[in-house]
Amino acid sequence: MKYIDEYRDAKMAEAYARAIDAAATKPWTLMEVCGGQTHTIVRFGIDELLPDKITLVHGPGCPVCVTPIELIDKAIEIASRPDVIFCSFGDMLRVPGTQKDLFVVKAGGGDVRVVYSPLDCLKIARENSGKQVVFFAVGFETTAPANAMAVYQAHQQGVTNFSILVSHVLVPPAMEAILSSPSNRVQGFLAAGHVCTVMGYTEYEPIAAKYRVPIVVTGFEPLDILMGVLMCVRQLEEGRAEVENQYARSVRREGNRHAQQIISEVFRITPRKWRGIGAIQRSGLGLSEKFANYDAEARFGVADYTAEEPAECISGLIMQGVKKPHECSAFGKRCTPEYPLGAPMVSNEGACAAYYRYRKVQTAVNIERNTATAMEA
C-alpha cells in the first residue's frame, strides 16, 4: 500500500538499526512520547532491532492511560442515567473506574455507544431530542480540533441536548514535568507526530533549549521511529539539543493554523490531573466561557467527584519513564489486560499492555537464539 509499505521495509529497517549502532558510542535512554509509537514499537518488534545501548522508555502519550480515575467515574455516573446516550471512542469502554467500567454500565442497560467521530454524536443528538447526548472528549492536541468542531457546530445549529465530558491534555507540560523530576532518566525525546501536525513544534524549542534535550518530531511507521532514534542519537553524540522534524511529510513548524484556531476558540487552557502523575498546571483544556454550557460536568453535577487510584498501580512512574511495567509487583499477576488495575494495562497503546506481550516475546526470542529457525529450515 502506497505511503505504508515504504515505511515498513525490512532491509531499510536493518540498515537504520546498523546506522544507530554505529552512531551510538555509549548508552542512551530515549522516550517515545506517544502511545501510538509504543504500539508500533511492540507490534513490529523495533526494540529488538535496536542495539542494547539504546533504551526506549514509554511516555505519557496514551490518552486512555492518562485519564484520571475520577473522570472515568464521572463518565460512568453520567452514562448510567436513563435520559443519557453516552458516546465514546471504543477504547475508553474497558478502562476501570473505582467500581466498574463503561462496558458494565452498558451491560446494566445504560445506552453507551461507540462512535468514530464526535460529529456523529451531533447527529445522534439531533435524532434523539428527548435525550441528553454526551461525548467523552478524551485525548491530546490531536483529537482536540474535531472535538472543538462538534461543540462549535452544536452551538451554530442550536443543538442544546449535546454536551461533552472533557478530559483533554497537552503534551509539552507533561514533557516538562518529566524533565524537571529528580528521578528523570530521559535524555532525548521522540515527540508525537500527530500532535505536532496540529500544533507545530515551536512550543518544543524552549524546552529543548532549557533542559538541553534533543527532541525529534517523529512519525508512527517503523522506519519513522528508527529514523527518529537515529536523529536523536546523533544529536546526543554531537552534544546538540535541538528540535528536528523527522515527520516532515505531515508536520510543519507552525502546524495547522485552522485547527489551532478552533481549539483556541472553543477551549481554554486549564490545570489537569493526570492519572498516576497528579495535577500539572496549564496541562489540559477545558471549555471556554463562551461554550461553557456544553460542559457535561456542570450539566450533570459531577464536577466535584474525586477518587483515588488503586495504591498498587504505579502507572504514574511508568508513564514518566521512571519504572518499567515489569518492575510493578502487580504486573501480570493481579493486573492483566483482562482484569486491569490501571489504564496502561487496557489500551493497545498502554505501556503495560505492551510489556505484558513483550515479556513473552523475550522468552520466544531466547528460544530463537538457542535453536535453529524453523521458518527458514
Partner 1 sequence: MSGPKDFNQICPIPIGQYPQVTLAHGGGGKLMHQLIERMFTPAFSNPLLSARHDGATFSVNGARLAFTTDSYVVSPLFFPGGDIGLLAVNGTVNDLAMCGARPLYLSAGFILEEGLPMETLWSVVKSMRCAADEARVQLVTGDTKVVDKGKGDGIFINTAGVGVIEHDLSISPASVRPGDVVLLSGDLGRHGIAIMAEREGLAFESAIESDCAPLGDLVMRLIDSKIEILCMRDLTRGGLASALVEIAEAAKVQIRIDENSIPVREDVRGACEILGFDPLYLANEGRFVAFIADSDADRALDILRSHPLGEGSCLIGKVTNDSSPAVVMRSRIGAMRIVDMLSGEQLPRIC
Rg (CA), the chain: 21
Q: Tell me, residue by residue from 177 to 206, as one string, x for binding to partner 1 by CB under 8 A and - for no binding.
A: -----------------x------------
Least separation, in Å, of the C-beta of 308 and partner 1?
18
Q: Tell me, residue by residue from 60 to 99, as one string, x for binding to partner 1 by CB under 8 A and - for no binding.
A: ---xx------------------------xxxxxx-----
Q: Which is nearer to partner 1, 261 or 362 (CB)?
A: 362
Q: Which is nearer to partner 1, 14 or 83 (CB)?
A: 14
Least separation, in Å, of the C-beta of 238 and partner 1?
27
Q: Which is nearer to partner 1, 116 or 289 (CB)?
A: 116
Half-sphere exposure of 238 (CA within 13 A, CB side): 11
Strands 162-169 and 278-287: antiparallel
The residue type at 148:
A
Q: Residue holding cell 492519572?
A: 275
Query: Quick check: 49 binds partner 1 (CB under 8 A)?
Result: yes
Restricting to residues 327-346, which ones interact with partner 1 according to CB under 8 A? 337-339
The footprint of partner 1 on this chain (CB under 8 A) covers a number of residues equal to 56
* Residue selected from 15, 107, 248, 303 as contacting partner 1 according to rule CB under 8 A: 107
The DSSP letter of residue 86 is E
Query: Quick check: 10 binds partner 1 (CB under 8 A)?
Result: yes
Half-sphere exposure of 187 (CA within 13 A, CB side): 18
Three-class SS of residue 193? Answer: helix
* Residue selected from 30, 37, 44, 309 as contacting partner 1 according to rule CB under 8 A: 44
Q: Report how far apart, in Å, the C-alpha atoms of 57 and of each of 37, 146, 264, 278, 375 are.
A: 11, 30, 32, 20, 31
Cell of 165: 465530558
Query: Quick check: 365 binds partner 1 (CB under 8 A)?
Result: yes
Least separation, in Å, of the C-beta of 48 and partner 1?
4
341 neighbors 314 (Cβ within 8 angstroms): no
Query: Quick check: 19 binds partner 1 (CB under 8 A)?
Result: no
Least separation, in Å, of the C-beta of 11 and partner 1?
8
The residues facing 280 across adjacent strands are 272
Restricting to residues 222-241, which ones interact with partner 1 according to CB under 8 A? 222-223
Q: Which is nearer to partner 1, 149 or 317 (CB)?
A: 149
Least separation, in Å, of the C-beta of 220 and partner 1?
10
239 neighbors 232 (Cβ within 8 angstroms): no
DSSP calls for 204-250: HHHHHHHHT--EEEE-SSHHHHHHHHHHHHHHHHHT---EEES-TTT
Cβ neighbors of 121 (< 8 A, separation 6 or more) are 87, 115, 133, 135, 150, 162
* Residue selected from 85, 138, 171, 285 as contacting partner 1 according to rule CB under 8 A: 138
A 10 A CB-CB count for 319 gives 31
327-344 CB burial, b ≥16 within 10 A, e <16: ebebbbeebebeebbbbb
Q: Which is nearer to partner 1, 225 or 231 (CB)?
A: 225
Nearest Cα to Cα of residue 206 among 182, 172, 232: 172
The DSSP letter of residue 245 is E
Query: Quick check: 114 binds partner 1 (CB under 8 A)?
Result: yes
Nearest Cα to Cα of residue 23 among 53, 67, 66: 53
Query: Quick check: 116 binds partner 1 (CB under 8 A)?
Result: yes
Query: Quick check: 271 binds partner 1 (CB under 8 A)?
Result: no
Query: Quick check: 367 binds partner 1 (CB under 8 A)?
Result: yes
Query: Quick check: 106 binds partner 1 (CB under 8 A)?
Result: yes
Restricting to residues 142-181, which ones interact with partner 1 according to CB under 8 A? 142-143
**Interacting residue ranges for partner 1, rule: CB under 8 A:** 1, 4, 8-10, 13-14, 36, 42-46, 48-49, 63-64, 89-94, 103-104, 106-108, 114, 116, 138-140, 142-143, 194, 222-223, 337-339, 348-349, 357, 360-361, 363-365, 367-368, 371, 373-375, 377
